[in-house]
């Protein structure tokens, strides 16, 4: 019931005074930093681009602040992930599409390529950016929409799109190279929550997690025991924490493994649902993918 009222409240605020903050100039508001990074690569500094969720912000737990709502009200174009990554906020964003241009980047991926899950029947895994092939499709889709929204920048978008797509193809190849260095018997990626399903499917890793697709779930004793048994039975030595998820439960798994006579370490942090700080490792989409691949490879060899 509280979530329903939250959506109603967000919608009411957003539909009040939907005029752009800067008259005569459309700006772009993106929900996640990954989308903001993509748009920045396509348009450069030609258009003002704002990302609501910065480094370390968990989109599953995200609730827009009054400042965020004001930013959305003033947006000329809104881009969000979709597939319920943004939770109940997605409903309000979709309703905004009646009055302004709102796009879900996941629309660029054919449904046949989306990862199904038994956790949320009828819905798909929203962590689409962790497979570069997916992000290439999203980039093409977003570029097409931006050309319609900003025809005056059409040539720039086309040129930047081709450059960025080449960079993404190179990144995909580099990620594959890193993962190929891991012995087949060691290709188990164990993480805090189920964000790496697309990554595992794309690059040949068996993925296991403590939490499900959403970080909203709570970790129980059985979850800890089951994962520690899995680590021991498969002789897995590394488990990975995530930059935007508390590692308290991960440490509990490690302690439980030790009690069972199996040594496990935290194999450094991975970027999953959010990029790193600007200017630092993982501060760009390509940077986060390369950091993850390199970190996984170094810890599973």
In tens, the pLDDT along 108-163 reads 999 999 998 776 677 899 999 999 999 999 999 999 999 999 999 999 999 999 99
Can you give the pTM of this predicted structure? 0.88
pLDDT reading at 216 higher than 80 = no
CB of 207 closer than 8 Å to CB of 199: yes
Query: How does DSSP assign 37-48, residue by residue?
Result: HHHHHHHTTSS-
**Which pLDDT tens digit goes with each residue over 175-196?**
999 999 999 999 999 998 889 9
- Domains annotated for the chain, with CATH where assigned, are 2-173 (3.40.50.1980), 177-300 (3.40.50.1980)
Beta strands, E only, the chain: 28-30, 49-51, 77-80, 101-104, 188-193, 206-211, 238-242, 265-270
- Of 297, 87, 102, 140, the C-alpha closest to 204 is 297
Which pair of structure tokens corresponds to residue 178? 């890193």
């Amino acid at each position: 019931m509280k979530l329903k009222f939250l959506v109603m409240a967000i919608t009411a605020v957003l539909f009040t005074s939907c005029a752009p903050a800067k008259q005569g100039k459309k700006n772009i508001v993106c929900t996640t930093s990954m989308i903001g990074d993509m748009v920045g690569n396509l348009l450069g500094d030609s258009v003002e681009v704002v990302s609501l969720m910065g480094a370390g912000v968990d989109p599953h737990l995200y609730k827009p602040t009054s400042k965020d709502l004001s930013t959305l009200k003033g947006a000329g174009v809104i881009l969000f992930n979709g597939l319920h990554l943004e939770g109940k906020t997605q409903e309000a964003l979709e309703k905004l599409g009646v009055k302004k241009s709102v796009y879900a980047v996941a629309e660029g991926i054919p449904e046949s390529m989306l990862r199904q899950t038994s956790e949320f029947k009828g819905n798909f895994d929203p962590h689409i950016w962790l497979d570069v092939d997916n992000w290439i499709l999203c980039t093409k889709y977003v570029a097409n929409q931006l050309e319609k929204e900003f025809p005056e920048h059409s040539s720039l978008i086309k040129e930047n799109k081709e450059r960025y797509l080449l960079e993404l193809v190179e990144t995909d190849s580099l990620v594959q190279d890193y993962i190929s260095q891991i012995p087949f018997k060691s290709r188990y990626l164990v993480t805090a929550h189920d964000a790496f399903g697309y990554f595992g499917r794309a690059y040949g890793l068996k993925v296991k997690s403590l939490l499900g697709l959403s970080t909203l779930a709570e970790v129980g004793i059985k979850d800890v025991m089951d994962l520690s048994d899995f680590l021991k039975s498969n002789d897995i030595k590394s488990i990975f924490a995530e930059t935007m998820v508390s590692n308290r439960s991960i440490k509990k798994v490690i302690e439980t493994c030790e009690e069972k006579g199996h040594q496990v370490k935290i194999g450094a942090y991975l970027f999953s649902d959010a990029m790193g700080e600007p200017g630092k490792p993982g501060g760009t989409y390509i940077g986060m993918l390369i950091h993850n691949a390199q970190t996984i490879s170094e810890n599973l060899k």
